[in-house]
Amino acid sequence: MKRTVLFGLCSMLATILFAWDIGAQAPAKSAPYKNVGPDEFEKLAKQPKHVVLDVRTPKEFTAGHIKGAINIDVNAADFQEKVDKLDKGSTYLVHCASGGRSVTACEKLTTLNFPSLFNLEGGMKSWTKAGKPVEK
């Protein structure tokens, strides 16, 4: 009888702990940056203290870029050195050609404690497809 009671208590305790563990999971962590489309990116670019950061190569930048953008190649050896000089109090609107390198840049900027980042989904391809202006 003692074993049956003990087994029942252990089983009940295990059930309670399992249910408690499921309910006690940490809330999902939000991304350190927000993905936005061309329309929202364009609106954000017009705000003071918002900086358009083009993380493509200088050659890609020269071929056509968003007005007012600054170019810091995410794959360049001096990327961190250059972004260390940026004002962390600004909001950065990050983009590349198609969206992959800008995600990498946002992740790097997050580790460097840049608190306000927006990533252009689809990069310059989505920007030009949406008919947004490009400077050369």
Catalytic positions, please?
Answer: 96
Contacts of 109 (CB under 8 A, 6+ apart): 33, 83, 92, 94, 117
Q: Are 123 and 102 in contact (CB under 8 A)?
A: yes
Spatial contact of 90 and 50, defined as CB atoms under 8 Å apart: yes
**Which H or E run includes 120?**
strand 117-120
